[in-house]
């Protein structure tokens, strides 16, 4: 088996693509439409939040960060995916592969940080309404958004540094996009450092964030069951979109991790592809619909923009 340094590899071959003949043009058009809907809906809501001073509140600022991340994640996937669908040779250069790893990993982490921060924001608004304005001031909001992006960028820089110094035994990635785990699998050198970092990161970040989210929703549910009907309705109207978004993202992330860690050869290839891309395709598509349809302030402003109604 030939051993190569990463500098000796000029490209990776993405082997999960299947030959679907002329149907590839239909798939291309479908994904192009999905991408256009994602871009237009997320940009619309970002503009609505930014230009309307009545929406310059913590919850909407966190939503704006979420929508920016949806644009970032979908743009790191769809243009690349569309080119690969039309291509007969499914290769990607090493720099572009690592760039995609960087973007998709950052997207996933920022999404999780954002959802955790939004859970905390809803917890303060519902469980401590009298102290909300003092605890969640605009400088605090900005600090939380910046930290969400900073920690996500920092974590992927470490991952790429560990993978970039590896010696490889091949250049075939069994996916339709580049992923850090699959590059690490190709490594002939010891993966101890990478595995230790993965374990430390998993138990120091996702577990802590998941515990924070669980704690906030337990407290919110307690208020819902013990509070007045008005409090219960307010909690349900503001928390439902966030909870659905959180469950959707967790569902997609679970299948992405499941495929990278366990043998999924018995699962049909098309289904494996769909599930591996679910968290970065359905999440950017679902969130604008959820928040645009469920939050009254956004509904009213959108109606006034398109139909000139108050």
The pLDDT-based confidence of 90 (bands split at 50, 70, 90) is confident
pLDDT digits (tens, 9 = 90+) for 52-83: 888 888 988 999 999 999 999 999 999 999 99
- Average pLDDT on 166-180 reads 81
Of 73, 3, 105, nearest to 281 by C-alpha is 73
CATH number of domain containing 69: 1.20.1070.10
Question: What is the span of the domain harbouring residue 269?
Answer: 4-307
Q: What is the arithmetic mean of pLDDT over 252-276? A: 76
DSSP states of 215-280: HHHHHHHHHHHHS-HHHHHHHHHHHHHHHHHHHHHHHHHHHHHHHHHS--TTS-HHHHHHHHHHHH
CA–CA separation, 78 vs 32, rounded Å?
Answer: 8
Distance CA 178, CA 100 (A): 6
pLDDT, tens digit (0-9, with 9 covering 90-100), for 97-151? 889 988 998 998 999 999 999 999 988 988 888 888 888 988 999 999 999 999 8
Task: Report how many domains make up the chain.
Answer: 1
């Amino acid at each position: 088996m030939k051993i190569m340094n990463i500098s000796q590899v000029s490209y990776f071959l993405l082997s999960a693509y299947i030959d679907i003949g002329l149907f590839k043009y239909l798939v291309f058009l479908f994904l192009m439409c999905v991408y256009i809907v994602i871009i237009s809906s997320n940009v619309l809501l970002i503009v609505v939040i930014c230009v309307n001073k009545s929406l310059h509140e913590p919850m909407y600022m966190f939503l704006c960060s979420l929508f920016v991340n949806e644009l970032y994640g979908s743009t790191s996937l769809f243009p690349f995916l569309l080119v690969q669908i039309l291509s007969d040779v499914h290769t990607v250069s090493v720099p572009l592969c690592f760039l995609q790893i960087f973007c998709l990993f950052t997207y996933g982490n920022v999404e999780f940080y954002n959802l955790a921060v939004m859970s905390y924001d809803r917890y303060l608004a519902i469980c401590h309404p009298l102290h909300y304005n003092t605890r969640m001031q605009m400088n605090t909001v900005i600090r939380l958004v910046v930290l969400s992006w900073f920690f996500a960028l920092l974590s992927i820089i470490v991952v790429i540094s560990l993978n970039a110094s590896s010696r490889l035994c091949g250049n075939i990635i069994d996916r339709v996009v580049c992923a850090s785990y699959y590059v690490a699998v190709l490594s002939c050198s010891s993966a101890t450092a990478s595995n230790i970092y993965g374990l430390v990161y998993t138990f120091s970040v996702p577990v802590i964030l998941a515990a924070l989210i669980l704690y906030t929703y337990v407290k919110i549910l307690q208020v819902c069951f013990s509070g007045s009907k008005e409090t219960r309705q307010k909690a349900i109207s503001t928390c439902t979109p966030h909870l659905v978004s959180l469950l959707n993202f967790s569902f997609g992330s679970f299948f992405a991790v499941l495929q990278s860690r366990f043998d999924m050869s018995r699962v049909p290839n098309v289904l494996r592809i769909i599930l591996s891309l679910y968290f970065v395709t359905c999440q950017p598509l679902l969130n604008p619909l959820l928040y645009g349809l469920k939050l009254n302030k956004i509904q009213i402003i959108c109606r006034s923009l398109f139909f000139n109604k108050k």
